[in-house]
Structure 1
């Protein structure tokens, strides 16, 4: 059968087929684990030829990284509220949900695990996800500095580590819950460290 020409994105890919491949890889990972994801399985689930996938991606980890990056860019852009406390609680809760209740969390753990055995992929993961995510994580702090809510000399990268580090630690290491109570504690300790005082989360009893 002659290959059908698709009108897709600027790279010449069919957007429908591309999305089908990303979704298929995501679903297979959640269902079967990292070892259960194969190019053959992805191609079959997405309804495309293996040759089509290999024109776009070099390996299954490339597919999983692409779907994870797209999900992160869509779901983790921090929204602006009235105060730093609100901004931080909202952003950290979204990050926690993304990594624990979303299929993206399973993809993230698989990518982190693969990065331990593939240094080149680990570098790609750092530059393509972690560096971009740090820019999103620091946005609430940068806005607070612009508003005068935080001092201009705040070490923003260190502050980001203090806020998101415990979330990643629980997700990747301990498996302890990353619930609203835990997020509220992180934010409260951070605010107190800058002498911003107690700020009760809305809706708490």
Structure 2
């Protein structure tokens, strides 16, 4: 007997997989706020998922569904205020772009989470290659993308050699800033950023020595 397709019962609606529930954004934000409060209260080394969950008013499962460890949670927070998503400087000159980039980096390093957590993360990274890879991805990749655009534009304008390495720009810019703001913890005045931008530009215009 042939079954009439039109008379066949419709298939039941497919249920979403058990693990596909949408994560509530208000809970995610409450957890992030709790992390900031925990960092301020106890620091990264003593911070725990239990303490974060308790402060956020959620269970530990809610935290682990979003981040697999406190390291990844903190890296996500750092990424939220790092250079990812910010417009790449496009002032029309290498000096202007470098000066704008330094302003962004200085702002990131002034953030209380960065100044309190980055040194601890670098210590942990020195002990654990997996942590080192995670830290590198969170702190370096977005900044390197910005540097690549700045260096490429400057090379196209003829301001620097076409084979200039963008990572060299970051070395020249971030090293002095990190030393002053995170290690020495000196205040950074706009005139210092002006001088540093000039030094970075001069360094990029000097061909690097062959290996």
TM-score where L is the length of structure 1: 0.76
Cα deviation digits, residues 42-77 of structure 1 (max 9, x gap): 112222211111222222112111111122145754
| Structure showing greater Rg | 2
Cα deviation for residue 195 of structure 1 reads 6.3
| 1:112 and 2:122 are equivalent in the alignment | yes
Match of 1:182 among 192, 195, 200: 192
| Partner of residue 177, structure 2 | 167
| Partner of residue 41, structure 1 | 51
SS at match of 1:154: coil
CA contact (8 A) 1:76 1:95 kept: no
CA contact (8 A) 1:20 1:46 kept: yes
1:1-205 correspondence runs (5 A): 12-74=22-84, 77-193=87-203
| Partner of residue 11, structure 2 | none
Gaps of 5+ in 1: 1-9, 197-205
State which drifts further: 40-49 or 174-183: 174-183
TM-score where L is the length of structure 2: 0.74
Q: 2 CA distance for matches of 1:185 and 1:36?
A: 39
Count of aligned residue pairs for this structure pair: 187
Cα deviation digits, residues 85-118 of structure 1 (max 9, x gap): 2221121012112112443332323322322333
